[in-house]
Amino acid sequence: MLLLNIRIFPLATMFYTTYALLKNKTCELQGGVCSLNTNDHQSTCVTLPYTCGANKVCCKNGMGGKPKDENRKGTVCYCGQANIPRIVGGEEVKPKNKYPWMARLSVKLGKFMSSCGGSLINNRFVITSAHCVYDGNKSKYVKPQQVKVILADHNRFSTSDDVPGVTRTVPVSRIIPHENYDHSKFDHDMALLRLKKQLDLLAYDEIKPICLPQREGISYKGYVATAIGWGLMDYSDQSSLPDVLLEVTLPILSQRKCRRYVPSGFPVKSTMICTGTTAADVGICLGDSGGPLAVTEGDTYTLVGMPSATFDCGQPKTADVYVRVSKYIDWVKDKTRDSKWCSLPP
Q: Give me the active site residues, please.
A: 131, 189, 289
What gap in Å lies between CA 313 and CA 282, rounded to an integer? 8
Among residues 120, 178, 123, 219, which one has the least CA distance to residue 330? 178
What gap in Å lies between CA 127 and CA 261, rounded to an integer? 27
| Cβ–Cβ < 8 Å for 151, 170 | yes
CA triple 324-325-326, angle to 5 deg:
95
Beta-carbon-side half-sphere exposure of residue 183 (alpha carbons within 13 Å): 12
| Cβ–Cβ < 8 Å for 292, 120 | no
Cis geometry, peptide bond prior to residue 95 (ω within 30 degrees of 0):
yes
Among residues 26, 32, 91, 75, which one has the least CA distance to residue 53? 26
